[in-house]
Amino acid sequence: MTYSFKNIIIRKPNKSVQNALSSQNIKPNFENILVEHNNYVKVMNELDLKVNLLEPMEYFPDSIFVEDPAIIYKENCIILNPSDPSRNGEKKIIYNEIKDYFENTYFIENGYIEGGDILNINNHFIIGLSSRTNKLGAENLSYILNSLGASVSICETPKNILHFKSECSLIDDDVILVSNKMAKLEYLKSNYHLLELPLGEEGAANSLRINDKLLVPEGFVKANDILSKNYDIINIKVNEISKVDAGLSCMSLRW
Ligand code: CIR
């Protein structure tokens, strides 16, 4: 199962996160980020994951979002190619930090692609083209994933959504939690069971299934009502982190 995990990589927050990319140009407060992040790590420990903590990288404001420069598939790690110039250098550093956890490492040499645009469902990957992921990057990743035995579909991320997974997440074997905009995607509609959240609850669509628990961003009352019927949920506060367009999945790599 795609959400059955034993290990997780998380990076400790850097003070420069105050200068992280933010579509609304909001500067988050470092101390508040630290509190939210410490709680995230605590929950992962309580879920019995082996937490591998990486050191902060001050030079890269967005570097706590380790989901973007790499993906993991089986015993393989693929180092991606983040498109924003302020984030591209993260890939070289994270490669050196994590390569020993995996048997094989691959690299995206051409085109741009970030992990937030990649949704893994068993041996299948959906890549969402976005302002951060272009066709060449998606095709290069498809080539590598195909060689590892996985299939890939390439979709468009709806406009004004940063990453494909900003507003969707896999919550069961064939169930994807989606925002209203994501629910309109033909590819998702025709291939998966979609659980659509009401308008105004988009922030809860970036939930994170880990083994038998569903981690859901705090503060979405309707989403909680809907999800708690079928899932054992843990609410996690991400108010400060969401000021820089990030959520639960962005802050870790899991396998
Ligand atoms: C960025 O714009 O790159 C960061 N401020 C947020 C990254 C969020 N990552 C993700 O959704 N996977």
**Residue 17: inside a domain:** yes
Structurally, the chain folds into a number of domains equal to 1
Q: How far is the CA of 250 from the centre of ligand 1 (A)?
A: 7
Amino acid identity, position 174: D
Residue tagged 């939210």 (tokens)? 36
Q: What is the DSSP letter of 234?
A: E
**Residue 117: inside a domain:** yes
In this structure, the residue with its CA closest to atom 7 of ligand 1 is 246
Residues flanking ligand 1, CB < 6 Å: 20-21, 62, 65, 67-68, 87, 115-116, 163, 166, 244-246, 250
Nearest C-alpha neighbor of 168 from the set 133, 208, 132: 208
In this structure, the residue with its CA closest to atom 1 of ligand 1 is 21
Domain CATH for 183: 3.75.10.10
- Give per-residue pLDDT as tens, 230-250: 999 999 999 999 999 999 999
**Residue 12: inside a domain:** yes
Contacts of 216 (CB under 8 A, 6+ apart): 204, 207, 223, 224, 227, 233, 234, 235, 236
- Give per-residue pLDDT as tens, 194-229: 999 999 999 999 999 999 999 999 999 999 999 999
Coil, helix or strand for 47? coil
**Residue 1: inside a domain:** no
Between CA 251 and CA 108 the distance in angstroms is 21
- Give per-residue pLDDT as tens, 80-115: 999 999 999 999 999 999 999 999 999 999 999 999
Note whether 48 and 4 are within 8 A (CB): no
pLDDT at residue 96, rounded to an integer: 98
User: Domain range for residue 153?
Assistant: 7-254
- Pick the atom of ligand 1 nearest to 61's CA: 5
